[in-house]
Amino acid sequence: MNSSYSPTDSELEILSILYQFGPQTVRFVNDEINKTREIGYTTTLKTMQLMLDKGVLNRSVNERSHIYQPAVTESHTQNIVIKEMVERIFRGSASNLVINILKSNETSPEELEKIRQLLDQIQTTKK
């Protein structure tokens, strides 16, 4: 996979399904996508073949079906998308991203405590 790879919206949708359900056929992925929007089987197939060519997916043959699974971890994909979003939308400022997330969402006391602990851990490691 190219180090400058940035997934398209369609690729993210496919990756999300595979992260949630594990290795699957094109038919399964297409059926899941069609629960929220209409898309043809061949469009899903072509997108997944391109993702295979890019090294984003792996494919194995199980009986007569081709089974696809992510070649990259969910956390790796999340990092790519977040870095791109910080650069494009928040002009490189991670703090602006966090501030906007906290302002726009109901954050539970438990989540806030996790955030505090993470910030303390990061601060300790950077000293």
Domain ranges of the chain: 1-89
Q: Which carries the bigger pLDDT value, residue 43 or residue 62?
A: 43
CATH number of 1-89: 1.10.10.10
Rounded Cα distance between 74 and 117, Å, is 23
Q: Is the pLDDT of residue 71 over 90?
A: yes
Q: Is the pLDDT of residue 16 over 90?
A: yes
Region of poorest pLDDT, from 5-14, 37-46, 90-99: 90-99
Q: Which amino acid is present at 106?
A: E
pLDDT classification of 2: cutoffs 50, 70, 90: low
Percent of the chain residues topping a pLDDT of 70: 98
Please state, in angstroms and as integers, the Cα–Cα distance from residue 121 to each residue in 56, 116, 126, following that order.
32, 9, 9
pLDDT value at residue 94: 87
Closest CA to 69 of 89, 55, 86: 55
- The whole model's pTM is what? 0.79
**What are 53-69's pLDDT values in tens digits?**
999 999 999 888 999 99
pLDDT value at residue 3: 66
